[in-house]
A and B are shown apart, each in its own frame.
Chain A
Amino acid sequence: MMEVSAVCRESLAGGGKSPHSLNPMQDAAQYTLEDAGADAARLVLSGQLTLANIGPLEHSLKGVAGPLASIDLADVDEIDTVGAWVVCRLAREHECDITGAGPAAERLLAAMRGIDAGGDTRAPRLPAWERVPTAVGEKIYAARSGVYGVVGFFGQILIGAGSLVRHPTRFPFKALVHQMELVGVSALPIIGLMSFLIGIVIAQQGSVQLEQFGAESLTVNLVGRITLRELGVLMTAIMVAGRSGSAFAAQIGTMKLTEEIDAMRTIGLSPIEVLVIPRILAATFMMLLLGFYSSVVAIIGGAVVGDLTLGIPFLTFLLRIQEVVPTHDLWVGLIKAPMFGLIVALAGCYHGMQVRGNSEEVGRRTTMAVVSAIFAVIVLDAFFAVFFTEIGWG
């Protein structure tokens, strides 16, 4: 197994006994028990006491019942720290001497002697009856400090925004434009494709149902109202949460881990001003544009279906939209969109800033950012639906 033996692994002349073989391999570690009188046996080890060969030997040594008078290493060909550890531990268990060790083996044994066995390499784990209440308590505590944290974070952003208003020269325009490109412009293809397909599906499925009442011409109303009012903005918010909310959390979280955020603070840059505010403004503003863009592309998708399967010419479909969709549907969408953008960006930046410890935390916080953003968006959307209907924008 070993091609070249290390200098420390000294070769010792064999003693000529016939060892009890544990392994058909020639160089495996083996042991024999010799009678040493006084009810005690002498354990003679031979072969290679190295990490590669020790496994089976260590296993069978557990079966050796004491008492042992001594452990003899004169027949050992090679020994490393693992071999020395096993020998040392065995000698301690049986309170016996180690004989026949060469100078290299003696050196290794000396290094091992001071270390006691036992202990675990895993992080300590409480018993279940303590662990469960502890976990529940920690969850509740985390929920409370999470609420405090969000409120505090929102306050920090307001303070940061306030100081930027007072010192407009500090405003990070470049970062804002860059984020607007990342959040908005580079999302155009995927959001366009998604919206186009949603428009097609609504028009096609809707027309099948409406046909039963002979009202397939109402497909125009269906597509126009549902995309402008609900789906365009909602689907875009979910897409932006997945694309940009997660990116915010992961990026800011990684910067936390590499101490970049601390470095900023020491230089006197506020991470809220430099990192968070541009992202929030970019997401809020671009959500407005993306939401509108998404609705428009979805209507085009619907118009394509209308042209191909319902016999409504493409342009007629678009003109009918203007007649059947009330303007307040457009306003409903345009009011909701920036709110959703704000929520997505807040969740992403907040969870990013909460990262501490290790890389696993970045992943966890990124997941939390996306999940909580989508959840909050859907809850808020339900509130808006009720609210706008109540004020007569039904």
Chain B
Amino acid sequence: MAGGKHYDDPDYPIVIEGLVNRFGDVTVHDGLDLAVRRGEILGVVGGSGTGKSVLMRSIIGLQRPTAGRIDVLGRTITELDLEQGIGVRRRWGVLFQGGALFSTLTVGENVEVPIRKYYPDLDPALRREIARYKVILTGLPEDAVAKYPSELSGGMKKRAGLARALALDPELLFLDEPTAGLDPIGAAKFDRLTRELQETLGLTVFLITHDLDTLYEICDRVAVIAERKVIAVGTIPELMATGHPWIEEYFGGPRGRAAHAAHLRGEA
């Protein structure tokens, strides 16, 4: 479905073709294709252990795939080494599941790390200001800037992680289960924040989630991973129309119906 036709097309910042990931005898991905459109929020769903996180790690170059080709922002990730990758690395931001903040630095200093790395000549005062407004932009209180990650709650850590992911004003944002472990109010706020930032900053968002509300509320398209491939990509009605049993169970189950009903109420 993705196909080589999207390579070097600026409208498709992520193009994956024929991705194979194998760990020993376990094949996680086998010929996976996917193309992410510029400016969309793409939700990625799949059962536990279907390799959603492995897919994300492959795209951002943390996991070298067994075979296949991945192009990100016109560069072939699967052929780059770390040093060559820098040009493309500064154009994406990644939020890991637990936030993955550097525990010996304050939240603000965490945000400064990527700026310091890529723009060492920038005036330190400006760098601190940038870090500070990024933290506030993600909805954290001002006093969180000078706090250490161990002083923050789980939801605040995620916001701080998001601030660090946004440090370089990236074009691409990777979110790994951003709302997992948040209370429903916090999760809804995080969803709104993601949408707001995506619209304001014009981001392309690759979002791994299990949260049906997130899928209904903010995702432009959803990619379903099953049987070691992306079996379908599209809006939720389009996915339902495919009639695939796993998709029907996922969106047609009690939780899926509840999230849909909530979505309709929200629109009304």
Contacts and interface: CB of A to CB of B under 8 A. Distances in A.
B171 A82 contact: no
Interface string A53-80: 0110011000000000000000000001
Contacts of B148: 123, 357-358
Nearest to B13: A4
A136 interface: no
A51 B115 contact: yes
Interface residue tally of chain A, by bracket? 35 or more
B106 A121 contact: yes
Contacts of A89: 129
Contacts of A123: 106, 146-148
Interface string B128-158: 1111111011000010011111100000000
Nearest to A79: B169
B119 A51 contact: yes
Contacts of B147: 123
Interface in B195-251: 199-203
Interface stretch (A38-46, A103-111, A161-169): A103-111
B137 A115 contact: yes
A124 B146 contact: yes
Interface residue tally of chain B, by bracket? 35 or more
A82 B130 contact: yes
A81 B133 contact: yes
Q: Nearest 10 A-B pairs (CB), nearest first?
A: A121-B108, A8-B202, A358-B103, A80-B169, A7-B202, A6-B171, A360-B104, A115-B133, A121-B131, A357-B150
A3 interface: yes
B16 interface: no
A119 interface: yes
Given A8-B201, A121-B128, 16 more contacts: A4-B13, A6-B171, A59-B123, A81-B134, A85-B130, A108-B200, A108-B201, A115-B132, A119-B145, A120-B145, A121-B108, A121-B131, A122-B108, A358-B149, A359-B103, A360-B104
5 contacts: A107-B200, A119-B142, A122-B109, A357-B148, A358-B103
Interface string A1-28: 0011011110000000000000000000
A52 B119 contact: yes
A55 B106 contact: no
B154 to A, nearest CB: 12
A86 interface: yes
A122 B103 contact: no
A7 B39 contact: yes
Interface string A81-113: 110011001000000000000001001100110
B38 interface: yes
A348 B68 CA distance: 48
Nearest to B133: A115
Interface of B: 10, 13, 38-39, 73-74, 87, 103-104, 106-109, 111-112, 115, 119, 121-123, 126, 128-134, 136-137, 142, 145-150, 166, 168-169, 171, 199-203
B126 A9 contact: no
Contacts of B128: 120-122
A220 B18 CA distance: 74
A179 B123 CA distance: 53
A123 B142 CA distance: 13
A369 to B, nearest CB: 20
A7 to B, nearest CB: 5
A104 B202 contact: yes
A82 B132 CA distance: 11
Interface in A238-286: none
Contacts of A55: 119, 121-123, 126
Given A51-B168, A121-B112, A358-B148, A4 B137 contact: no
A50 B146 CA distance: 25
A121 B111 contact: yes
Contacts of B130: 51, 81-82, 85
Nearest to B103: A358
A117 interface: yes
Nearest to A107: B200
A86 B126 contact: yes
A122 B119 contact: no
Contact of B73 (A3, A81, A82, A108): A3
